[in-house]
Structure 1
Amino acid sequence: MKTLPEASPKDCESGENPGVRLRALYRDGHGEMHLNWPIERLDEAIRDELGTLWLDIDDAPGQPSAVAEHLLRDVFRFHPLAIEDALRETHVSKIDDWDDYLYLVFHSTSIDPEADDLRLEELDVFLGPNYLVTYHERTLAFLSESREAIEHDPRDRMKHGADHLLFRFLDRSVDQSLAAIEQLDERIDRVQDEVMERMDPRNLQKIFRIKRSAIQLQRTFSPQRDVLNRLARDPYRVVKEEHRIYFRDVYDHVVRIHDISESLRDLIAGTLDTYLSVMSNRSNDIMKTLTMVTVMFMPMSFIVGFFGMNFFGATLALETWLPKWALFLGSIAIMSLSPVGMLAFARRRRWL
Structure 2
Amino acid sequence: MGIRTKLRRNRTQKKGMPPGSLVYIGDDQTEEVTMSAMAFDANGMDAYEDLSIEEIKTVIDSDKVTWVNVNGVHNVQLVDQISKHVGLHPLTTEDILNTEHRPKIDFFEDHLLAIVKMLHLPEESPDLDDEQVSFILMENTVITFQEKRGDLFDPVRLQLQESKGRIRKSGADFLFYSLLDLIFDQYLIIMDEMDDRIAQLEGMIMEDPDNHSLQDINQYKNTILQLKKTVWPVREVVNKLINRKVSYIKEDISFYLQDIHDHIVQANDMVETSRGQLYGLLDVYYSSLSMKMNEIMKVLTIVSTIFIPLTFIAGIYGMNFANMPELDWKWSYPAVWIVMLVITGLMLVYFKRKKWF
TM-score by length of 1: 0.86
Equivalent residue letter for 2:65: T
What is aligned with 2:263?
253
Unpaired stretches in structure 1, ≥5 consecutive residues:
5-16
d(CA) in 2 for partners of 1:178, 1:319: 81
- Kindly report structure 1 stretches of 4+ aligned residues shifted beyond 6 Å: none
Cα 1:293–1:86, aligned 2, differ >3 Å: closer, same or farther?
same
| Aligned equivalent of 1:280 | 290
Query: How many residue pairs are counted as aligned between the two chains?
Result: 330
- The correspondence of residues 180-195 of structure 1 with structure 2, limited to 5 A, is 180-195=190-205
| Contact 1:94–1:105 (CA under 8 A) maintained in structure 2 | yes
Equivalences for residues 1-352 of structure 1 within 5 A = 1-3=21-23, 19-27=32-40, 31-36=43-48, 39=52, 40-48=54-62, 50-59=63-72, 64-66=74-76, 68-153=78-163, 157-312=167-322, 316=324, 318-320=326-328, 322-323=329-330, 326-352=331-357
The offset of 1:152, in angstroms, is 2.5
Farther-moved stretch of structure 1 (207-216 vs 255-264): 207-216
Q: Give the gaps of 5 or more residues in structure 2.
A: 1-20, 25-29
The verdict on how the C-alpha distance between 1:18 and 1:319 changes in structure 2, with shifts beyond 3 A counting, is closer
Residue 91 of structure 1, CA deviation = 4.1
Secondary structure of the residue aligned to 1:297 is: helix
Native 8 Å contact 1:33 1:154 kept in 2: no
Identity %: 28
Letter in 1 for 2:48: N
Q: CA contact under 8 A between 2:57 and 2:82: conserved in structure 1? A: no
- Letter of the 1:35 counterpart: A
AA aligned to 2:174 is H
SS at 1:182 equivalent: helix
Contact 1:124 1:136 in 2 (8 A): yes
SS at match of 2:246: coil
**Per-residue Cα deviation, 1:136-192 (whole angstroms, up to 9, x for no partner):** 113343223322331222895333111110100011111122111111111111112
In 2, Cα distance between equivalents of 1:89 and 1:350: 62
Q: Distance in 1 between matches of 2:261 and 2:150?
A: 21
Distance change >3 Å, CA 311–CA 138, structure 1 → 2:
same
Instruction: Tell me: CA distance 1:100–1:306, structure 2 relative to 1, closer, same or farther (3 Å).
Output: same
For 2:156, give the aligned amino acid: S
